[in-house]
Amino acid sequence: MGKRIRRTKSISCCVSPRSSYLNPHSSFSWYEDDAWTEIAKFLDGKSLLMLALTCRWFYRILMHESIWKYACLRDLQVPDPRQVGFKWTKLYATAFDGSHSYMFRQQEKHIDWMRVGSFLFDSPTALLTENISALPKSTKGETLEKMLQLNGCVVLNDIKTGIWLADLQLVRCPVCDLNTCDGTMQILDARHIELFLCDGYLEGNWDYELLGSHENKKHAAAATGGIFDIKHLNDQSTAEVFNLKSWVAKANDWQPKAIITYHAVAVNTNLQTNEGLHVKYHAMRAGKGGKIIAIRISKQLL
């Protein structure tokens, strides 16, 4: 990924890209499509939009889909998913406009959030786990209930492939009275980049379904969760997630930590003395029988 130029001042409105002091006999013109396309590679989304609105010529050049595809993949730092269902201008906006899932549902439950980053589902199969340091050696032939009981993990098929965004959410416990309960839940919240552009979601027709839950009634040192593309579970980049010493916070550091690679995401928050955790796995489909388009791993203190 190229390093972006740091701007020291905002772009001001221009009258024309052609310089008035150039030699009239010169063949040079500021109206060079290729030159401005190359310059656009160094501009963020806000700067691209500001420049595009200065005149019709800039708008034609800078609002081209290829410009926004490059900017989106560059800023999300993910490989090309090859096929998308919406224009790249809309995908860029939904990725960087500050939206998250609790803005659309249960705003009264939401406390805080942070963007972890973006990753790619290259295959339709995902592994969800509450324990990154103890992944199962094999999931073949195992039922969901048995995987939850033995390993605290879930294997999901029918994942919508493409770019996914991951957020870490802090929400109030859904079974408690808001006025009296101080209980909170940590949620690893991942969604396909197209989710907020789909009418089925915006109209409230799609919702999360509980896949399963798991309780650990012993002291939990940390609230941890991970989502992996099984096809890339043994990739060198994914191996970084399992090197916990490189990214997990040291003891007595209560700040959440996260790591994201091309095909995986994981979070970890150290916990003080407790009586265990209740873990729930939720998924949302794009309509009845549709692909899984959003995933949640929630952890609540017992």
Residue-wise pLDDT for 24-36, tens only, equals 554 545 567 778 8
Interior angle at CA 137, CA 135 and CA 139, nearest 5: 90
Most confident of 82-91, 145-154, 168-177: 82-91
Q: Give pLDDT, residue 263.
A: 97
Q: What is the pTM of this model?
A: 0.83
Give the C-alpha separation, 96 to 109, whole Å.
Answer: 23
One domain for residues 105 and 149: yes
One domain for residues 71 and 168: no
Interior angle at CA 102, CA 127 and CA 289, nearest 5: 50
Q: Give pLDDT, residue 33.
A: 73
Give a yes or no: residue 10 inside a domain. Answer: no
Give a yes or no: residue 28 inside a domain. Answer: no
Give a yes or no: residue 145 inside a domain. Answer: yes
End-to-end CA distance of the chain: 44
Q: Give pLDDT, residue 146.
A: 58
Give the C-alpha separation, 71 to 43, whole Å.
Answer: 8
- Percentage of the residues of the chain whose pLDDT score is greater than 70: 81
Give a yes or no: residue 38 inside a domain. Answer: yes
One domain for residues 116 and 234: yes
| Cβ neighbours around 90 below 10 Å, total | 17
**Average pLDDT estimate for 4-31:** 44
**Average pLDDT estimate for 238-257:** 93
Spatial CA neighbour of 264 closest among 136, 147, 84, 132: 132
Dihedral sign of CA atoms 47, 49, 54, 57 in order: positive
One domain for residues 249 and 174: yes
One domain for residues 167 and 71: no
Q: Give pLDDT, residue 175.
A: 56
Residue 1, pLDDT > 50, answer no
Query: Poorest-confidence range of 10-24, 48-62, 118-132, 288-302?
Result: 10-24
Residues in contact with 11: Cβ distance below 8 Å, sequence separation at least 6, in sequence order: 47, 50, 51, 54
Q: Give pLDDT, residue 147.
A: 58
Q: How far is CA 55 from CA 60, 200, 283, in A?
A: 9, 36, 45
One domain for residues 69 and 112: no
The total of structural domains in the chain comes to 2
Residue 16, pLDDT > 50, answer no
One domain for residues 40 and 181: no
Give a yes or no: residue 256 inside a domain. Answer: yes
Instruction: Show the domain range for 79.
Output: 33-95
